Chains A and B, each alone.
Chain A
Amino acid sequence: VPRPILVPKAAVILELIGLALFIIARTTGAGWDIVLLCGVIAVIITGSLLPAFVLSRVTVRAQAPADATVGRPLRIELTVHGHAVKLRVLTFESDWVRIDTPTTGPLVVTPNRRGVMTRMRVEVVTAAPLGLARWRRRILVPLPTPVEVAPRREPTRCPIVVGDTQTPSELAHLAAGGIELTRGVREYADGDPIRSVHWPATARTGAVMVREYEGPRRPIVVIVVDLRGPDPELVASRAAGMADDALRAGARVELATAEVDGPRTGVVPTPLHVGRRLARATVGPPPRGPFPAGATVHRLGGDTA
């Protein structure tokens, strides 16, 4: 519903002049000033009501990427059927843009809070056609694809407990992107690739020896995010930073959060997935476990925030 928000100076001045005209007319008997007064009143009435009608006809559609991050610009594609209005997005931070005619175009906004946005609130303002009274209308625009707004990354170190089967050199290798580790050598068997021949051992034993590989034993990190504390957004940001740090260190990261459907624990293989999980995280009790054996468990938020 369009609502009046502001009576600009021009309208106030017109109203004062209208009052002056009435006084002049009543004290001089000038009929033309009464005619002028009626014209001024008619202009004020027309100029004050037409913007409401203009706004009532505005429609907005929007398309946005599926992922976003708090504080980072986001381009959304708007289609606006309107005329002589200005528009901004309230759900995100955005500047005013002008809509002259029915238009489709990109608008860069900045998400200012974490969450899953299935629709966004848009404010449309106009004083058309005379600029005498400003009206605004707030429109809820459904988003065809929900935007999952990840929290801002708060750089946070993630200490990882090294297990008895892991060595510091393995962890370094994992962090450097290594995939496999050589666990030993054995005699050649049919089908072994020639590149896996271990020449020093072959020379030492006299038999063709090949390397025996074994997948890396990645450390497991579980981050329990409890948003029930006083500053849930800070907790989410730290969780994101910690998860990123753990991923960089080569750990397998699991996030334990509360979502709309209840507590959930799941692996987040990339920072993108970290952002999505934390976008969906809500205030509520996170899972209590059980968590994988040997996992490093970090609890963020709640009483520990």
Chain B
Amino acid sequence: MNVRAQDVVALRVSVCVAVMAASIAALREGAGGGILWVAVLVGLPIAFVVGYLTRRTRPLLLRVAQSVLAVGIMVSFLSGIHQLSDLAGLQVPLAQAFLWLLLLHALDTPNRHGLLVLLVASLVLVSLAGVLSISMAIAPWLLIWGFAALVALGLAYRAELEELPGLGAAAAPRLGRATLAVPAAILALVLLVGFGVFMLVPVAGTNRALTFPSQLPDDTPVRSDGDLSNPSLGGRDPSRSGSKSSSPRASFGYFGFSKQLDTSLRGRPDDTLVMRVRASSPDFWRGQTFDRWNGRVWTVSDDRPRLIRGEEPIGIPRVPVDGPAQSALDVDELVQTYYLEEAGPNAIFAANQATKVYFPDRGIFQNQDGSLRAGVRLDPGTVYTVVSQRPLVTPDALRVVRPESVPDDIAIQYAASPVTTERVRALARSVTASAPTTYDKVLAIQEWLGTHTEYSLDIPRLPKGADAVDQYLFVDRRGFCEQIGTSLVVMLRELGIPARLAVGYTPGERNPFTGLYEVKASDAHAWAEVYFPGVGWQGFDPTAEVPFAGDSQIDSAGTGALSYLSARLDIPSEVLVGISIAVGVVGLAFVVRSLRRRPARVAISRSWASQRLARLESLGAARGRPRAPNETTPTYVRALGALAPAHDDALGHVGATIDAAMFAFEPPDRAELESIDGLLRSIESGWSDSTNPADLVPTR
């Protein structure tokens, strides 16, 4: 009897595993609470068992209950979402509703189609989990889901095939080593092909975003509205000024996120992951800027932020120091969503220049330099989205900027002669003597710094009363980002070019799988911002590779995937490529071998008649009477009957039946075939060996 797909238990098990893996992936990303966990871990397997047991009967009561519950789920879903303000809030309720519907559907899977629908639904659920996921934690569940789905697809096809009658007496394949090994090999092949595709498909990006996530797990306000708070600095938290707290700085705390930046201070943040940023291209994630320099410490000349109120999205006005709005360059919109992993400063990081902020609070604060602050503590789990407009800057575009058109207020605040030594001033002039444009001057200074100084985190303590820039450029010749950025700003100001020191984070490492930049505490950075009339403030730093907006295109989703995996697996990229290709080739070879089954290695399944005739032939050959090439079955059995008269009748009967099974239109029925088998066994066991071999001459 041919097997029908709905009766194949292995197919149901693989679909169940795929659905459970998809459900767990979604639940791990926060798609549901305890009840859904229980429903998935306990309810789903039970539903699959019920679906199997009722596949033929399909009780009416069960189907009515299913329909009622499905309507209830949809009503609950619709009533829950009609108050949502944006699409981002739809993801979790949608995943929950989908999970419940999957559970209900698992109860009614009477056929292959129903099982495949569940498989497709699990793919939808996995994609929802993918939208919710910002980390690698989903990866193992994706692999389990992928493997189970491949097994299910393969079994579904085999089950479809098994509904046809088979040729010959070949046994239908059963669940075994090959049933799992072939999908494993196919999975390896799919992973290799998928990786190749990954290198070609465009990056997900966020510039066409329909959803702008924002979330505030705790709305504890900072001590005073608009004040800068940075609990990661412990006793140096600027919001605790005046208190005598001596709590230590967190390992990920950065001194730059404060009211002042003392370049003589040591202490670098560690590699703690502080936040993830979803953005379609890298940029400096700026926290704040400093404009006043005293030779050792940076401070902010006007630290009186103003409150901006409004509903999401909160529009961010331009501040006077941003200069006139018109730009000769094309502008792109960079959407950035920040997912905070550690409790850091209440600065709202943003690529310059922020225009809209999706932040779930009554308002935010804007400093005089345009940087933003929250009025509440930003704890782990905080999510906000910033939309920035960036002129598509390129080196050529910056070279044509006319420096004389700098607005006066910007020139006064940012281009006044800085506090520094004469030799620093002289150096600035000599280094840039042959640079015709502002941009070339910046490059000339950067080049000089790169040639004559060394980046190092291990520098001598700044002597008391010493000028930090002078010490770095002429004495130590070693320094880190604060020294380098400060030197660049001071030298540019000496040339009359508006510049300031910005602090924040470099883009961090892009995780090609999540599409998010993973920003570590050690990515905290200080860099120079230079004002270009008609363009705005542009970040420069010789130690961080942050491309201009006009140059920062990430073409394919897989960009950097190899180096990312290489770093995490601690395997060189070249070796990783070799291993990947080897795995793919082995997978392909295994699949090919499994599908090919060369006849030289695999015995051909022979028909009943051929097998019995072979037994007769071996019986005769063992007694010195092999079958001649031109001998028909009846002739041969007659010859054998002559040699063993006691078995003459039996042999004749066997021969006639074999002949009929081979050639007759109506082959013998199963009972007759079985009786022939018994007869053949009795001949094999009862044939006397006393026959004289000399009498055995083949008939020709």
Binding site for B on A (CB under 8 A): 10, 13-14, 17, 20-22, 24-43, 45-47, 50, 53-54, 57, 59, 65, 73, 75, 77-81, 83-84, 86-87, 95-108, 127-132
CB-CB nearest 3 A-B residue pairs: A105-B168, A31-B515, A131-B157
Q: Is B13 an interface residue (CB 8 A)?
A: no
Q: A31 CA to B558 CA in the complex, in Å? A: 10
Residues of A within 8 A of B189 (CB): 46
Residues of A within 8 A of B196 (CB): 42
Q: Is B430 an interface residue (CB 8 A)?
A: no
Q: Is B191 an interface residue (CB 8 A)?
A: yes
B512 and A128 contact, CB distance less than 8 A: no
With both beta carbons as reference points, the residue of chain B lying nearest to A104 in the complex is identified as: B606
With both beta carbons as reference points, the residue of chain A lying nearest to B183 in the complex is identified as: A129
Q: Is B646 an interface residue (CB 8 A)?
A: no
B607 and A36 contact, CB distance less than 8 A: no
**Interface stretch (choices B59-67, B524-532, B567-575, B597-605):** B597-605
B667 and A30 contact, CB distance less than 8 A: no
Q: Is B513 an interface residue (CB 8 A)?
A: yes
A39 and B146 contact, CB distance less than 8 A: yes
Residues of A within 8 A of B663 (CB): 65, 75
B153 and A98 contact, CB distance less than 8 A: no
Within 8 A of A (CB), among B167-203: 167-173, 182-183, 186, 189-198, 201-203
A31 and B146 contact, CB distance less than 8 A: no
**Interface stretch (choices B68-76, B125-133, B257-265, B439-447):** B125-133
Q: A39-B194, A86-B164 are in contact. Are A17 and B201 (CB under 8 A)?
A: no
* Chain B interface category by residue count: 35 or more
A304 to chain B, nearest CB (A): 36
Residues of A within 8 A of B190 (CB): 39, 42-43, 46
**Interface stretch (choices B30-38, B206-214, B417-425, B622-630):** B206-214
With both beta carbons as reference points, the residue of chain A lying nearest to B558 in the complex is identified as: A38
Residues of A within 8 A of B516 (CB): 31
**Interface stretch (choices B240-248, B306-314, B588-596):** B588-596
With both beta carbons as reference points, the residue of chain A lying nearest to B91 in the complex is identified as: A28
Residues of A within 8 A of B211 (CB): 27-28
Q: Is B511 an interface residue (CB 8 A)?
A: yes
Residues of A within 8 A of B142 (CB): 32, 35-36, 39
A26 and B204 contact, CB distance less than 8 A: yes
Q: Is B610 an interface residue (CB 8 A)?
A: yes
B205 and A29 contact, CB distance less than 8 A: yes
Residues of A within 8 A of B500 (CB): none
Q: A20 CA to B127 CA in the complex, in Å? A: 10
With both beta carbons as reference points, the residue of chain A lying nearest to B200 in the complex is identified as: A38
Q: Is B154 an interface residue (CB 8 A)?
A: yes
Q: A130 CA to B602 CA in the complex, in Å? A: 23
B123 and A17 contact, CB distance less than 8 A: yes
A31-B516, A38-B198, A130-B186 known, 18 other contacts, Cβ within 8 Å: A10-B120, A28-B131, A28-B206, A28-B211, A36-B142, A38-B197, A38-B558, A42-B196, A54-B596, A75-B664, A75-B665, A77-B662, A81-B599, A99-B166, A100-B172, A104-B610, A107-B167, A129-B183
Q: A99 CA to B156 CA in the complex, in Å? A: 16
With both beta carbons as reference points, the residue of chain A lying nearest to B664 in the complex is identified as: A75
Q: A107 CA to B607 CA in the complex, in Å? A: 11
B152 to chain A, nearest CB (A): 10
Residues of A within 8 A of B193 (CB): 41-42, 45-46
Q: A24 CA to B667 CA in the complex, in Å? A: 60
B153 and A102 contact, CB distance less than 8 A: no
Q: List 26 A-B contacts (CB under 8 A).
A: A21-B127, A27-B210, A29-B209, A29-B280, A30-B133, A31-B512, A31-B515, A35-B130, A38-B558, A39-B142, A41-B194, A42-B192, A43-B150, A73-B665, A84-B595, A86-B161, A100-B161, A100-B170, A101-B170, A101-B605, A103-B604, A105-B170, A129-B591, A129-B595, A130-B153, A131-B157
